Structure 1
Amino acid sequence: MSNGFLQVAVSGRADERGFQHGRILADRIHRTVEFYTRIFGQSASTLVELANHFKQKIREFNGEYATEIESVAEGAGLDSWYIYVLNARSELLSLKTNECTAIYFQKTGILGQNWDWASVLEPLTVLMRIEHPNGHVIQMITEPGIIGKIGLNSSGIGVCLNILRIKGRLDGLPVHVLLRAILDSQNIDQAKIAVEKAGHGKASNILVGDQHGNCFDIEFARDRSLTIGPQQTFVHTNHYIGEHINPNAGIFRCSYARKQTAEEKIKALTTYSVEDMKSILLDRSHGEFPINRRYTPDDVIEEMGTVCSVIMDLPNQTIHLKRGHTVDTDFSCYIL
């Protein structure tokens, strides 16, 4: 296994960026699509219907994103509906799996998280650099075919994601498209406007910070949203904290335990550095529910654990990235 992720760079207009994305990553996109269409558990006709719904939502929000998605499909040699449902995968899946621990140090502008998900995606995941014609640059860790995920931009804005669980259908703008809109923002106020424009219909938490220590956290709870913070240090896992929606029992015990462990470790900090963030994201002190999670069997996604650890030093516009759950491999540093 390589210690790093494949690095991919795309640039130009939306159609050019999308086609480059699809052509360069065609094989990985096909494999990612195969994985998700299998676990969606829906017929092709149903997925086409859902894709058309999300296509309309995305086009209404920002037509360039629909163009980019359709160009990814063209570059990969796939019908566009596959890429639409891929970008809406968080809205289409309702799993019992808890994933991801996200943390922000407001004092030093350092944002980080573990992305905990399916082991099959570890060798497929890429570090993508997107350059717009106006010079705005994004660097993000993403799944092939998905146009927005965890990352930072040249304006010093970074974003993390936690998937949440709530009853009911999720039919709003896909959260991964919203992540892209945040990364396309040139200041934190623009990011807030993007969140407001996106509306509801999601079950996710978005943690946004910038190089100056400004931050906000939004929990989407299907038909409403909850604003959390800001706080000097902030931790979010996979249960709602704005309201008591998910009890500390059953499948949510893991989320509560990881949040408690991270907060206890933060209390002992004095410097709030990249190294401090690494020590938290790699922590395995809780035997049953560690922050850094080895792959374990899962009924739906086969194996689930820490796919990668991502740390964004927003003032210095660098990403520190470590592939997989092993704690004895080094982080690689990438300058925007």
Structure 2
Amino acid sequence: MTFPTFKSSQTQPRARGKEFGTQLRKQIAGNLAGYTDLFTVAGGDPAQVRVWGERALERSAAWAPALAEEIAGIAAGAGLEPWQVAVVNARTEILAAIDAVGHGECSTSVVLPEAGPPRTVQTWDWHDHLRDAPLLWEYEHDSGRVVRTFTEAGALAKIGISTAGLGVHFNILRHESDTAELGVPVHLIARRILDEAATVEEAADIARSATVSASTVITVVTESRAASIEISPAGVAVIPPGPDGVLLHCNHFLDAGLAAGERHATERPGTYDRMRHLESHVAELSGPDQNARALAMLSHAPDDAPVCAHPDLTQPLNQRWETLATIGLDLPAGRMRVHQGGPCQVTEATWQVF
């Protein structure tokens, strides 16, 4: 089992978006429908969701006009309104506005060894009814920079890597400063980092330039540096690796100042269990073999930390979580290795190199 892939032939934002929307029309419509169901079950009013989508598009156009053009192009190709594609890109912000809470989510490990490239792996957990949303997308800029991203149909980026030697991992956070006044979607921040940054410092500057309404952490990795950039309406913090080169992140803030406003961990403290699991498996997570690193993430609830999640089908869809992907970055090659599903399904043969 592998994720679908798409390679853009266009380099201009609107044309690239229109090609993407045209070729992936069915997947984008399905993803939008899935999020519409999720918002409804979580308590979102459809009319208000449209208002939030329009506001996210306005904020995006002011902060990154080219990305708003690309969203408009996707909408034109997919036969949708631009606000509908903006809703997909702003799903983190809309869920924060609805005040939706869940206890699944992602775990990330980055290790900078004394010799050799960074060793990374993350699980990506999301709602099981959206398991058909992910895809792998490659596009090129006029500058020659190539970006490869694991994202969702209609979303401009998520986890990814560029030929400028920079990659990103992605985890959701929750903070008491999160607000219903929609800001720049955090997925667009990840996109601009992949498109424009070549260093941790440049990535942090991009994050600081955006006015956001929801929280997330984007862990940025280059061949010699790494940092988790924690983003919230209350501010941005940059968390470096420890002296041993180890940088771990789950779904709670590590910065002392931002942690004072922690929401996710106070409501769903399983994030601390997952962090303790990662900390106890640093030796395996530090190894050169991607397969071994993924297997080090293997841990199931209720007997252990739920790093590898499986949905409880007795729950409503907004409370059903599944590890939909396991992903590592290959910085020297400018590629990702992607496994469809959780660590418990990993074998040497299940990795998709993209």
Check whether the contact 1:30–1:76 (CA below 8 A) recurs between aligned residues: yes
Distance 1:4 1:269, change over 3 A: closer
The gaps in structure 2 that reach 5 residues or longer are none
Q: Which residue of 1 aligns with 2:67?
A: 65
After TM superposition, list the pairs within 5 Å mapping 1:1-336 onto structure 2. Answer: 3-10=1-8, 11-41=10-40, 42-93=44-95, 94-98=99-103, 99-107=105-113, 108-167=117-176, 168-170=178-180, 171-188=182-199, 189-211=201-223, 213-231=224-242, 232-243=245-256, 244-245=259-260, 246=262, 251-267=267-283, 271-284=287-300, 287-297=303-313, 298-301=315-318, 303-325=320-342, 327-330=344-347, 331-335=350-354
Distance 2:160 2:26 in 1: 23
Kindly state the Cα deviation for residue 278 of structure 1 after the two structures are TM-superposed: 1.6
Shift of 1:327: 2.2
Distance across 2 between alignment mates of 1:4 and 1:248: 31
Deviations 1:215-270 (A, max 9, x none): 12121232222222233111111111213444897643210001110111004666
CA RMSD of aligned residues (A): 2.2
- Structure 1 residues 15 and 283: alpha-carbon distance in aligned structure 2, compared to 1, 3 A threshold: same
The alignment partner of 1:184 has SS state of: helix
Matched residue of 2:327: which SS? Answer: strand
**Alignment CA distance shift 1:248-1:174 (3 Å):** closer
Shift of 1:295: 2.2
Task: Output the CA distance in 1 between the equivalents of 2:139 and 2:126.
Answer: 24
Is the 1:166–1:203 Cα contact (8 Å) retained in structure 2? yes
2-structure distance, mates of 1:292, 1:240: 21
Contact 2:49 2:87 survives alignment (8 Å): yes
Shift of 1:180: 0.3
Contact 1:12 1:132 in 2 (8 A): yes
Q: Deviations over 1:36-71 (max 9, x none)?
A: 122223334322322222112111111110000011
**CA distance in 2: counterparts of 1:31 and 1:265, whole angstroms:** 38
Give, as a single letter, the amino acid of the residue that structure 2 aligns with 1:60. A
TM-score normalized by the length of structure 1: 0.91
Indicate how the Cα distance of structure 1 residues 313 and 304 shifts in structure 2: closer, same or farther if over 3 A, else same. Answer: same
Of residues 40-49 and 51-60 in structure 1, the stretch that sits farther from structure 2 once superposed is 40-49
TM-score by length of 2: 0.87
How much does 1:85 deviate? 1.3
Distance in 1 between the 2:263 and 2:72 partners? 40
Runs (5+) with no aligned partner, structure 1: none
Q: Could you tell me which amino acid in structure 2 is paired with residue 214 of structure 1?
A: R
Letter of the aligned partner of 2:303 in structure 1?
A: G
Question: For residues 249 and 287 of structure 1, do their structure 2 counterparts lie closer, same or farther at Cα, with a shift above 3 Å needed?
Answer: same
**Contact 2:107–2:122 (CA under 8 A) maintained in structure 1:** yes
Query: Once structures 1 and 2 are overlaid, which stretch shifts more, 256-265 or 192-201?
Result: 192-201
Q: How many residues are aligned here? A: 332
User: What amino acid sits opposite 1:35 in the alignment?
Assistant: G
TM-aligned CA deviation for residue 285 of structure 1: 8.6
Cα distance change of structure 1 residues 166 and 111 upon mapping to structure 2, 3 Å threshold: same
